[in-house]
Amino acid sequence: MSIAIVIGSSGGIGEAVVNELLNSAKYDQIIEFCRPQIDLQDESTIQKAAEIVPQKPVTLIINATGYLHDFENKPEKSLRELSSAALQKYFMINAIGPALLMKYFLPLLPRHERAVFANISARVGSIEDNRLGGWYGYRASKAALNQFTKTAAIELGRTHPEAVCVALHPGTVETRLSAPYVASRYKREKPNVTARHLLAVISNLNSNDTGKLFDWRGERIPW
């Protein structure tokens, strides 16, 4: 018996990943979490969710949560637009929440079996790749997520030598998150196609890949 867990299953990419996993029939059980069961701004919900996962090998965990905009905040174009409250929200949902997910969910991975924990991150979190500027809170919080992923991968490797903990860039995908920011002339992928790509990348990962950032084609993105 093996279990796959998708956190953020109400999102465009998360829902598509769940559907792909169901179609693949590779897992005996697929567990979905989203709000209110897991609210990344409330650590106790993360702890409670991890506690109800059955005691069977969990060989895949995908964190497909993320935050770019809502009625309160839009990605900042300039330093003039920075606000403490917005920056705190970006860091809470994109970095601190996922770090706490790893705190409670990484211990569920089996110790001597290949298993993968993937955080859906974003290319804009790459410091090396930052050519356009802007989007301070989103960029910086995804850079922090990347660092949390790498740091957790190092710790995980000490007890779980076959486990893989990575960050993945999904590409530009037609979801609520991207809708206001991607002009229709740009190529956007449908979530189900992205889900297939991401699961193909995940299935090719091994322990040498842990602690790295890959795009939807499986190509390494510099930190």
Ligand X SMILES: NC(=O)c1ccc[n+]([C@@H]2O[C@H](COP(=O)([O-])OP(=O)(O)OC[C@H]3O[C@@H](n4cnc5c(N)ncnc54)[C@H](OP(=O)(O)O)[C@@H]3O)[C@@H](O)[C@H]2O)c1
Q: Is 202 in the site for ligand X (CB under 6 A)?
A: no
Q: How far is the CB of 8 from ligand X (least distance, A)?
A: 4
Question: By C-alpha distance, which of 117, 198, 127 is closest to 151?
Answer: 117
x/- mask, ligand X, residues 44-83, rule CB under 6 A, reads: --------------------xxxx----------------
Q: Which stretch binds ligand X (CB under 6 A): 50-58, 126-134, 165-173, 204-212?
A: 165-173
Q: Which stretch binds ligand X (CB under 6 A): 52-60, 100-108, 168-176, 199-207?
A: 168-176
Question: By C-alpha distance, which of 125, 126, 119, 138 is closest to 74?
Answer: 138
Q: How far is the CB of 57 from ligand X (least distance, A)?
A: 25
| φ and ψ at residue 188, rounded to 5 degrees | -120, 145
Applying CB under 6 A, which of residues 50, 116, 122, 201 lies at the interface with ligand X? 122
Q: Strand runs (DSSP E) across the chain, as ranges?
A: 3-7, 29-33, 58-63, 115-120, 163-169, 213-215
- By rule CB under 6 A, what count of residues binds ligand X? 26
Q: Is 148 in the site for ligand X (CB under 6 A)?
A: no
Determine the Cα–Cα distance for residues 216 and 187; give it in Å rounded to an integer.
14
- Contact set for ligand X, span 2-41 (CB under 6 A): 8, 10-14, 34-35, 38-41
Q: How many angstroms separate the Cα of 177 from the Cα of each of 46, 134, 138, 197?
A: 22, 17, 12, 19
CB 27 within 8 A of CB 2: yes
Q: Is 166 in the site for ligand X (CB under 6 A)?
A: no
Residue 164, classed as helix, strand or coil, is: strand
Applying CB under 6 A, which of residues 178, 214, 216, 221 lies at the interface with ligand X? 178
Question: By C-alpha distance, which of 121, 8, 141 is closest to 65?
Answer: 8
Residues near ligand X (CB under 6 A): 8, 10-14, 34-35, 38-41, 64-67, 93, 120, 122, 170, 172-173, 175-178
